[in-house]
Amino acid sequence: MTASPFQDIYHGAVSVKPATPASQAMVAAMDPLLRKLLPEAEHPGDAEHVLGKEVMLQRVMPLRMKIRMWTGWNALVKQLLEEQGYDTEGVIFDTPHLRVAPIDVESGDGSGDAPAAHRDTWSAHSGAQVNWWIPLYDLPREAALPIFPAYFKAAVANSSSGFDYLEIKRRTLFQDTEGEVVTAPTTTEPFDMSNEQRFAMNAAETLVFSGSHLHGGARNLSNRTRFSVDFRTVRRPDHDAGIGVANVDSAAVGSSLIDFYKFAA
Ligand SMILES: [Fe+2]
């Protein structure tokens, strides 16, 4: 078998890729929808200052669900991978999510709006999963998604034990997508956050990293709401051959691959 094109990512590589026509098309598709929902501000990231966090989130929530049904993703996800130089043979993907991270004005434990730090494997995602994360607007470093590379191969105490993908899916299927946030396993003990990697990014640039990296838990310390789109891919032959990142600490049961799609021809 030929080597996987994602080998460097399985070894922990984290990179910010330049914007491409496909990532720009994703941003161009989402931006007017947000502007329409949040007309009070010139920039959607400032609407929270006018409306308050709760109203802003209520406005955007239906869109978060609606865009998951958008049929345009298939072609754009495939195109984006190809533009970044990846062979898409055997690659499957999940439907992109629109994420909203309000400004974090509290000085508490960071347990507010962003999901706490986690590996996607704790939620029964594949060790061969690659995450693609795209900010819809220019992003200062203090609003960026943090990754903790020091824990790539080091176990972290977490709540994945008892996480059963099918069971969680049954429970959340008819709820709004925030249900996922409530039930997704997270760290259960403090860990060393001093090694975090955060990148200032421009709109439509793409952060690419293994879903096995410890990531998230970010407090948005900027003055604007952060809007981003992300999706996940898995090269199925790699997953089937056990190629990817070895599991160091997930006790999750089941597999999220039942929700991944092949690219339409
Ligand atoms: Fe994640």
3-state SS assignment for residue 150: helix
Q: Which residues are in the CB-under-5-Å shell of ion ligand 1?
A: 120
Question: DSSP letter at 3?
Answer: P
Q: Report pLDDT for 172.
A: 73
Neighbouring CB atoms inside 10 A of 51's CB total 16
* 7 vs 114, higher pLDDT: 7
Strand residue runs (E) in 66-107: 91-93, 97-101
Q: What band does 207 get if pLDDT is binned at 50, 70 and 90?
A: very high
CA distances from 33 to 4, 49, 117, 149, 185 (A): 37, 19, 29, 35, 31
pTM attached to this predicted model = 0.92
* Tokens linked to 182: 């409530």
Name the residue among 77, 26, 29, 127 with its Cα closest to residue 263: 77
Q: What band does 105 get if pLDDT is binned at 50, 70 and 90?
A: low
For ligand 1, the distance from its centroid to the CA atom of residue 38, given in whole angstroms, is 26
* Cα 139–Cα 145–Cα 150 angle in degrees, nearest 5: 135
Residue-wise pLDDT tens digits, 67-102: 999 999 999 999 999 999 999 999 999 999 999 989
Burial class (CB in 10 A: 0-12, 13-18, 19+), 36: exposed
Residue-wise pLDDT tens digits, 55-76: 999 999 999 989 999 999 999 9
Decide if 176 contacts 61 (C-beta within 8 A): yes
For ligand 1, the distance from its centroid to the CA atom of residue 40, given in whole angstroms, is 31
Q: What is the mean pLDDT of the chain?
A: 90
Decide if 85 contacts 206 (C-beta within 8 A): no
Residue-wise pLDDT tens digits, 148-178: 999 999 999 999 998 999 888 887 765 544 5
Q: Report pLDDT for 18.
A: 98
Neighbouring CB atoms inside 10 A of 190's CB total 7
Q: Hey, which CATH number is domain 7-262, 2.60.120.10, 2.60.40.1930, 3.40.190.10, 3.40.50.300? A: 2.60.120.10
For ligand 1, the distance from its centroid to the CA atom of residue 79, given in whole angstroms, is 22
The DSSP line for 5-63 is TTHHHHTT--EEEPP-HHHHHHHHHHHHHHHHH-TTSSSGGGHHHHH-HHHHHHHHHHH
Average pLDDT over residues 101-113: 57
For ligand 1, the distance from its centroid to the CA atom of residue 215, given in whole angstroms, is 6
Q: Inform me whether the pLDDT recorded for 108 exceeds 90.
A: no
Q: What band does 181 get if pLDDT is binned at 50, 70 and 90?
A: very low
